């Protein structure tokens, strides 16, 4: 027979992993305990979470229990789940993403040529984030990989299609202008007026 502390710990683990309301009878079978005893432990856990003011609560429904979030914390969840955590992209990542978005399908060497710096690591990072994907190979010498943005890119940046991208001058013209002005790199700002500052909260590439 397990101790009450052990059974409560097990109930928390099972509720967390089960993904749907955990029925008392199923929990009792796993713990090899009486259903009334297990139900009592569920109730005690429920009270403990409420008394401690936890952000997670235990909800009962038809002799089953599950974890739910505290309604008072909805405002924080909405902020966390706001579409496109653009601020997580470094300035270099935003720059490369913009080049690919406007010039796709594009090879890495073309991206490098526009930026004036190697972009392999940045492109790999964008692929890992699901914003860029390999679309095949170019017909040029060596048949290099060509890259394009993904559906995830459209979703995260709030675009219905690539036609929704802001209009900007051609990249070659922009690069020449910036070189004449003494600047090295170019960048396209995907933010709206309420967007976050990329440099203010950027992470490493």
At 147-201, the pLDDT tens digits run 999 988 887 877 778 888 887 655 445 555 555 555 444 444 454 433 333 333 3
Residue 154 to residue 171: CA distance in whole angstroms: 21
Domains of the chain: 4-74 (1.10.10.10), 86-180 (1.10.10.10)
8 A C-beta contact, residue 125 and residue 94:
no
> In this structure, are residues 104 and 149 in contact, taking their beta carbons and an 8 Å threshold?
yes
Q: Please give the structure tokens belonging to residue 47.
A: 């009270």
Q: Which pair of structure tokens corresponds to residue 66?
A: 């599950």
Confidence class for position 71, pLDDT limits 50, 70, 90: confident
Q: Burial, 104: exposed, middle or buried (Cβ in 10 Å; 0-12, 13-18, 19+)?
A: middle
Averaged pLDDT of the chain: 80
Q: What percent of the chain has pLDDT over 90?
A: 44
- In the chain, helix, strand, coil percent, each to 5? 50, 15, 35
């Amino acid at each position: 027979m397990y101790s009450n502390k052990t059974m409560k710990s097990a109930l928390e683990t099972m509720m967390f992993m089960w993904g749907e309301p955990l029925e008392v009878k199923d929990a009792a079978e796993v713990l090899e305990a009486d259903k009334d005893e297990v139900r009592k432990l569920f109730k005690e856990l429920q009270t403990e979470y409420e008394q401690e003011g936890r952000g997670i609560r235990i909800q009962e429904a038809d002799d089953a229990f599950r974890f739910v979030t505290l309604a008072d914390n909805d405002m924080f969840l909405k902020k966390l789940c706001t579409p496109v955590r653009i601020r997580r992209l470094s300035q270099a990542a935003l720059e490369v993403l913009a080049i690919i978005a406007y010039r796709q399908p594009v090879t890495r060497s073309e991206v490098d040529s526009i930026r004036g710096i190697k972009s392999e690591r940045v492109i790999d990072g964008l692929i890992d984030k699901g914003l860029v994907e390999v679309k095949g190979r170019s017909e040029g010498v060596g048949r290099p990989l060509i890259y394009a943005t993904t559906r995830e890119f459209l979703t995260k940046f709030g675009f219905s299609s690539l036609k929704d991208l802001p209009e900007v001058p051609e990249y070659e013209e922009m690069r020449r202008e910036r070189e004449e002005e003494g600047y090295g790199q170019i960048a396209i700002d995907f933010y709206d007026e309420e967007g976050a500052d990329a440099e203010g909260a950027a992470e490493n590439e």
